[in-house]
Amino acid sequence: MDQGRHVFTVDLLERYAAKGRGVITCMAAGNDVIVIGTSKGWVIRHDFGVGDSNEIDLSAGRPGDQSIHRVFVDPGGSHCIATVVGVGGAETFYTHAKWTKPRVLSKLKGLLVNAVAWNRQQITEVSTKEVILGTDNGQLHELSVDEKDKREKYIKFLFELRELPEAFMGLQMETASIISGTRYYVMAVTPTRLYSFTGFGSLETVFSSYLDRTVHFMELPGEIPNSELHFFIKQRRAIHFAWLSGAGIYHGSLNFGAQHSSPNGDENFVESKALLNYAKLSEGAEAVKPSSMALSEFHFLLLIGNKVKVVNRISENIIEELQFDQTSDSAPKGIIGLCSDATAGLFYAYDQNSIFQVSVNDEGRDMWKVYLDMKEYAAALANCRDPLQRDQVYLVQAEAAFSNKDFFRAASFYAKINYILSFEEVTLKFISAGEQDALRTFLLRKLDSLVKDDKCQITMISTWATELYLDKINRLLLEDDSASENHNSEYQSIIREFRAFLSDSKDVLDETTTMKLLESYGRVEELVYFASLKGQHEIVVHHYIQQGEAKKALEVIQKPAVPVDLQYKFAPDLIALDAYETVESWMATKNLNPRKLIPAMMRYSSEPHAKNETHEVIKYLEYCVHRLHNEDPGIHNLLLSLYAKQEDDSALLRFLQCKFGKGQENGPEFFYDPKYALRLCLKEKRMRACVHIYSMMSMHEEAVALALQVDPELAMAEADKVEDDEDLRKKLWLMIAKHVVEQEKGTKRENIRKAIAFLKETDGLLKIEDILPFFPDFALIDDFKEAICSSLEDYNKQIEQLKQEMNDATHGADNIRNDISALAQRYAVIDRDEDCGVCRRKILTAGREYGMTHGYTSVGPMPPFYVFPCGHAFHAQCLIAHVTRCTTEANAEYILDLQKQLSLMGGETRRDSNGTLSPEDSTIPSMTPADKLRSQLDDAIASECPFCGDLMIKEISLPFILPDEAQHVASWEIKPNVGSQRNIPLPV
């Protein structure tokens, strides 16, 4: 093997590690700490982590020569146990890294400790927790030490071999924490046996349970100088073990799971067991048994003579031999033993004077080849480091399957190869072998391994796979014509697989190419399926309609992603195919415009076979009108036309009488075209409906004339509908009366009685004289005597009533004349201190400031004024000014214009003392224009008191400060004095 590819390398760590304290007899390591025992009873501790070392003499005070038999150190490098053998027997010591003096374990005096098992899961720097000691006489003891106590907490006897007492040569312990507590797994070896112990609780409980049950063990024959047991530790958990036995190296995987439910069961926790025969190490020569060993993840390090052979644990082949540079004085005895540091991942070898470090350099790098050579492909893939290595594993598997004609399995493996074999080479292999099914499998698996960025390659491969599927389907049909009918056949299976492929590949397949392929192979159903996947709903619906499957077509149309235009496009075909389902679908679809469905409904209703099924169309139209409140005239006209074609006209009449727009403000009562409705009803001879339409169109004469042909009672009802036009109502009743008189076929006297009875139904609207012209000329007056007398009495009553009304009117006129005469004598008394309501000056006082109002004549010294019945009095000029200020702009202009005209005329008119016209003058026909203007002015300003009438209410909207008072308001504004200021003292 190339030196650069060596997995294990040897380096001299320390040449004279015993430091003159004898020769090295034993060694242990943990966490970069090495502890060696010497032949003179010394324990030397090297801590490479901190670069420190110390020496402890365990032979002090003991007679004779003393030698360290075994030394043990925990994985953390803090706790150390050593056994000294001398003239006085064996004695065991415990020491801590922080102690300067060891502590003798007196309870173990005389017992030779060969093996120690540390509790790796629970041990700490200050406490050993549970430790198991194995002795030379086949006993197991439990020890626990806390560093702060400076002595052991306890030493308990656990177990003793009684069937075959042998020395315990190796011990290992593992624990697992589960819900019910802690489970212990203990493995121990003697020269010939491997024992397994397991149980819940404490170590004492576990081993006491074996008093009642058999100990599980594995026995191998043969002798060996030193039996050893090793666990390979990864992340503080034992992965696999190896036992150096007389027959070979017994090894396997360890499973310390919680699946062992029985607390006292003998379940074995060893899996994948194997035995490495020593004969494989000597290559034909006599087998040589190793004197020591160490265990790595994938290899055994076996000490044979002065060499360490590295054997692959999986392939059992020797991969390397390690040589050691020994001194001349140590070479004769050679390497004494091997030990491992599981925490640091290092191995050590030692002779009498020197310590050698064995380092591991990526021992798993070639394990994929090892597993591949052994045809353990899963393990080989798990140990591959890069895609090229994985490709080689897949290639070996693919070629093996191809050679065994397992083409489908070969296709799966070939599809996983990305680098060492091209796509074209693989496809040619299957094409040459004529295995199209395997080729299809290869293409499908290749698609799974491609990334999304390889769009072009994905589309091409998917298209090729599609064609292979179609070819397979056709070949199956050619082989068996009944394959399509057998649901469990290979044909149906490949159809389902093909559809699943189309569904998965719908986004990468070219739509046009794929549809052409499906069409060329005649796969209509798959074409429809693919079209639905691609959203080509029109193709799908058209296919279902051709197949007569209206329900499936409607299911497609009702999908949210389908455009609503397809509803309108396929409506004629769907309603002709299944009217009930189609109408139900329409009613279940939201945002559907019924107007666009009118052609389909009209076409369906006009077909002969649909005459008994038009109620489905009517049902939908009624749904639109009554539930959706549709206002489209086309919908209402169509519904009306279908009602008109029914034999029973009750639905038509209900429709015509329904007020559809009554929910709207000022809305129409109907939305159909009344003229169209009238023509349709006349065509279908629906006379009652025609009568209603005539009445609705206010064509009452036509309505009554038509109703008389159907039912006189209906004509009477129509005549009564006219209420606002008495003449028209009378005319309609005359039409009915004429019809009644002409239709009577009885005797003359009987006809007259019926005619007179008809007059009573008119509630006095018609008199006997109104219907007399309808009777024949030869009718005798005696037959109408009673009716005429009754009519004359009515007239007499009316004349008396008119006389009474005339008397009342005459009396009222006299009262009015008296009131007018009384008005001429009306007057008001003005106190001399009465104030004007506007200027607050005396009404009867004249002054220079009171100029005469234009158009008014002064009486003595008094100015013109107005007095109102409420008692308020105003100067004429003040009243005019007040009214023009408070009234509207138009009325103010009107008043000022009248005043201006009076001033221009300058006419003098005789006035009363209060300045108003006398009633006699106002009525004379020779009233002058000035008087008319004054009368108009009086009406404009004095129609009501400004303080008591509406004018006062309107004043609330006037501003407090009028626009013409702005200058007056500005005069009150306080302005700051910008110039110099003086302080003027105020007098006290």
Q: What is the pLDDT of residue 605?
A: 78
Question: 387 near 418, Cβ under 8 Å?
Answer: yes
Beta bridge partners of 27: 36
pLDDT-derived band at 732, boundaries 50, 70, 90:
low
The residue-averaged pLDDT of 13-31 equals 90
The residue-averaged pLDDT of 877-890 equals 86
Closest CA to 570 of 591, 596, 606, 595: 596
Q: What is the pLDDT of residue 300?
A: 94
Tokens of 9: 């390398």
pLDDT digits (tens, 9 = 90+) for 805-829: 888 888 888 888 888 777 767 778 8
Rounded distance, CA 412 to CA 626, Å?
A: 65
pLDDT-derived band at 480, boundaries 50, 70, 90:
confident
* Residue whose pair of structure tokens reads 């009750």 in the numeric block: 650
Closest CA to 338 of 356, 315, 323, 359: 356
Rounded distance, CA 634 to CA 104, Å?
A: 114
Please state, as a whole number, how many other Cβ atoms lie within 10 Å of the Cβ of residue 587: 14
Indicate if the pLDDT at residue 126 is higher than 50.
yes
pLDDT digits (tens, 9 = 90+) for 629-645: 888 888 888 888 888 88
Q: Taking the mean position of all CA atoms in its chain, how far away is CA 928?
A: 94
Q: What are phi and psi of 2, to 5 degrees?
A: -60, 140
Question: 317 or 776: whose pLDDT is higher?
Answer: 317
**Could you tell me where the beta strands, DSSP code E, fall in 245-394?**
248-254, 270-277, 292-295, 299-304, 307-312, 318-322, 337-341, 346-350, 355-360
Question: 965 or 124: whose pLDDT is higher?
Answer: 124
Question: 694 near 706, Cβ under 8 Å?
Answer: yes
Q: What is the pLDDT of residue 754?
A: 56
Question: 159 or 661: whose pLDDT is higher?
Answer: 159
The residue-averaged pLDDT of 720-729 equals 60
Percent of the chain at pLDDT > 90 equals 28
| Mean predicted lDDT score pLDDT of the chain | 81
Please state, as a whole number, how many other Cβ atoms lie within 10 Å of the Cβ of residue 242: 23
Indicate if the pLDDT at residue 457 is higher than 80.
yes
Question: 628 or 257: whose pLDDT is higher?
Answer: 628
pLDDT digits (tens, 9 = 90+) for 231-244: 999 888 899 999 99
Crossing angle for the helix pair 455-479 and 511-520, nearest 10 degrees? 10
Indicate if the pLDDT at residue 758 is higher than 90.
no
pLDDT-derived band at 305, boundaries 50, 70, 90:
confident
Among the listed ranges 343-352, 410-419, 779-788, which one has the minimum average pLDDT value? 779-788
Question: 917 near 931, Cβ under 8 Å?
Answer: yes
Q: Residues near 516 by Cβ (< 8 Å), separated by ≥ 6?
A: none
Q: Residues near 764 by Cβ (< 8 Å), separated by ≥ 6?
A: 794
Rounded distance, CA 527 to CA 512, Å?
A: 11
The residue-averaged pLDDT of 54-78 equals 88
pLDDT-derived band at 927, boundaries 50, 70, 90:
low
The residue-averaged pLDDT of 635-661 equals 79
pLDDT-derived band at 984, boundaries 50, 70, 90:
very low
pLDDT digits (tens, 9 = 90+) for 141-156: 999 999 888 888 899 9
Counting beta carbons within 10 angstroms of the beta carbon of residue 819, is it exposed (0 to 12), middle (13 to 18) or buried (19 or more)?
A: exposed
Q: What are phi and psi of 171, to 5 degrees?
A: -140, 140
pLDDT-derived band at 730, boundaries 50, 70, 90:
low
Rounded distance, CA 366 to CA 275, Å?
A: 22
Torsion of CA 522, 525, 530, 535, to 10 degrees: 120
Question: 699 or 129: whose pLDDT is higher?
Answer: 129
Q: What is the pLDDT of residue 715?
A: 65
pLDDT-derived band at 346, boundaries 50, 70, 90:
very high
Q: Which range in 68-72, 619-623, 755-759, 905-909 is most confidently predicted, on average pLDDT? A: 68-72
Q: What is the pLDDT of residue 649?
A: 79
The residue-averaged pLDDT of 828-856 equals 70
Percent of the chain at pLDDT > 70 equals 81
Question: 631 near 624, Cβ under 8 Å?
Answer: no
The residue-averaged pLDDT of 79-84 equals 95
pLDDT-derived band at 712, boundaries 50, 70, 90:
low
pLDDT digits (tens, 9 = 90+) for 437-450: 999 999 999 888 88
Helices and strands in the chain: count of H runs, count of E runs:
33, 30
Q: What is the pLDDT of residue 64?
A: 77
pLDDT digits (tens, 9 = 90+) for 862-879: 778 888 888 888 888 898
pLDDT digits (tens, 9 = 90+) for 166-203: 999 999 999 988 777 888 999 999 999 999 999 888 99
Q: What is the pLDDT of residue 668?
A: 67
Tokens of 392: 């080689």
Rounded distance, CA 5 to CA 978, Å?
A: 107
pTM of the entire predicted model? 0.57
Rounded distance, CA 132 to CA 202, Å?
A: 12
- Tell me the C-alpha to C-alpha distance, in Å, between residue 104 and each of 80, 82, 100, 110: 12, 10, 13, 12
The residue-averaged pLDDT of 742-758 equals 54
Strand, coil or helix: what is 606?
A: helix
Q: Which long-range contacts (CB under 8 A, 24 or more apart) does 490-496 make?
A: 494/469, 495/526
Rounded distance, CA 483 to CA 476, Å?
A: 7
Question: 880 near 902, Cβ under 8 Å?
Answer: no
pLDDT-derived band at 687, boundaries 50, 70, 90:
confident
Q: Which range in 18-22, 280-284, 685-689 is most confidently predicted, on average pLDDT? A: 18-22
- 743 conformational bin, left if phi > 0, alpha if psi -120 to 50, beta if neither: alpha
Q: What is the pLDDT of residue 987?
A: 43
Indicate if the pLDDT at residue 527 is higher than 50.
yes
